[in-house]
Amino acid sequence: MPPVVDKEKCTGCGSCAQVCPANVFDIVDGKAVVARSQDCIECRACEAACPNNAISFP
């Protein structure tokens, strides 16, 4: 399952996009968006990199 971004917590810093080896994220309107969920390899690097705990895996 791809990550879920909590839009209330996300500040659009881009940390998730920078560390994602599968290039899953885009920053749209100042928030992270899972743009290519089918490419997610569930490494959880994005979850660890997010300073606001805005990313989780169901």
Domains and CATH numbers, the chain: 4-50 (3.30.70.20)
Q: Which DSSP symbol is given to 37?
A: G
**What pLDDT does 41 receive?**
98
Instruction: Look at residue 22 in the predicted model and tell me its pLDDT.
Output: 98
Instruction: Please answer whether residues 2 and 43 qualify as being in contact, where contact means their C-beta atoms are separated by less than 8 angstroms.
Output: no
Residue 47: phi and psi, rounded to 5, are -60, -45
Q: What is the pLDDT of residue 45?
A: 98
pLDDT of residue 31: 98
Predicted pLDDT of residue 13: 98
Put simply, whether the predicted model's pTM sits higher than 0.85 gets the answer yes
Q: Whole-angstrom distance between the N-terminal and C-terminal Cα of the chain?
A: 7
What are the residue ranges in the chain where pLDDT is below 70? none
Question: What pLDDT shows up at residue 38?
Answer: 98
Helix (H, G, I), strand (E, B) or coil at 48: helix
